[in-house]
Amino acid sequence: MSQLVEIVLPVFALILLGYGLAWSGYLPDGTSRALGDFVFKVPIPALVFYTLATAKLDNIVPWGLWFGYFGGVALVWALAHLAVVYVFRRDQRVGPIAGVSAGFSNLVLLATPIVEAAFGPEGLVPHFMLLSVHLPVMMIASTVFFALLGEEEGARSIRDYATEILKNLLTNPIIIGILAGGAWRFFELPIDGFFAEVLGKITPTAIPLALLAMGLSLRRYGIIGNIGPAIVFTFLKLLVLPGIVFFLVGHVFELPRLWVSVLVIAAASPTGVNAYLIANHFGTGQGMATNTITLTTGLSVLTISFWLFVLGVG
């Protein structure tokens, strides 16, 4: 139990510190966006690059990792869609927002620190393998489903959105870090000298600054109605999704124990802010997404501790 405290509490203490700095007005309003942009564009991509460039993968092909994790996401997405349409009687177009709210994990700002604290640098390897496809898969899925459920959108919307997504992905700093790290490792290029010194200064800042940025950003979100669906999505996100992923990657695909643990923690992480960004982009479901982000982040201190205990950490 003491190890659980050592892993979880420092992470959420930094988030709480960031929230307090924003709530008190000690830092100006623009700090959240500026720090978030810096973390997203500099130290996190540097950490991703370094981890993948120096990883010892032993020719592992992560198909089981991807199919196991996204199999769980697909099931939770379907449950969230059915709940919002048939239980809460919302329009079909809200279904994709329900899906991303219940299935889009905050892999960058929260899961990365937890994985590193609980499993060390070795745990970051499967984590970044998941991260490498997580954003593209979730963005493409939400775009396709929203276009298909639109009133008169059809293929033209899919094509337009797909072009926008492709452009965003090719300029995404984390995707660039993933591709660069993979290429560096493939060609067995060295990381030494001045280059290593610079990376050594940047990468340690990624985790604490990411947590502070997350706390600062949470000040912008709150509970603004649509509480019923948000409670259901929170239950699906924090308990159902990691449970399904645990079964699929551990018993169906039989991945190594470390990989199973990392994927469960990734699945148990709270909903990422991309759920709100997607809802805002499509002009529907913003309240549900915002509430789910708030609730899952607040409750994840308990549920992540629970899943770490189930996984035998602590």
Cβ burial, residue 1 (10 Å; 0-12/13-18/19+): exposed
Encoded tokens for 305 = 């501790």
- Whether 205 contacts 43, CB under 8 Å: yes
Number of domains observed in the structure of the chain:
1
Question: Residue 54 class from Cβ within 10 Å (0-12 exposed, 13-18 middle, 19+ buried)?
Answer: middle
Residue 262 pLDDT more than 50?
A: yes
Residue 147 pLDDT: 73
**What is the rounded average pLDDT for all residues in the chain?**
87
Residue 152 banded pLDDT, cuts 50, 70, 90: very low
Comparing C-alpha atoms, which of 143, 164, 165, 167 is closest to residue 155?
A: 143
Q: Cβ distance 287 to 224 under 8 Å? A: yes
**CATH at 167:** 1.20.1530.20
- Please report, rounded to a whole number, the percentage of residues in the chain having pLDDT higher than 90: 46
Contacts of 269 (CB under 8 A, 6+ apart): 105, 106, 107, 110, 111, 114, 300, 304
Residues of the domain holding 162: 2-310
* Range with the poorest average pLDDT among 58-67, 162-171, 259-268: 162-171
Based on its alpha-carbon atoms, the radius of gyration of the chain, rounded to whole angstroms, reads 19
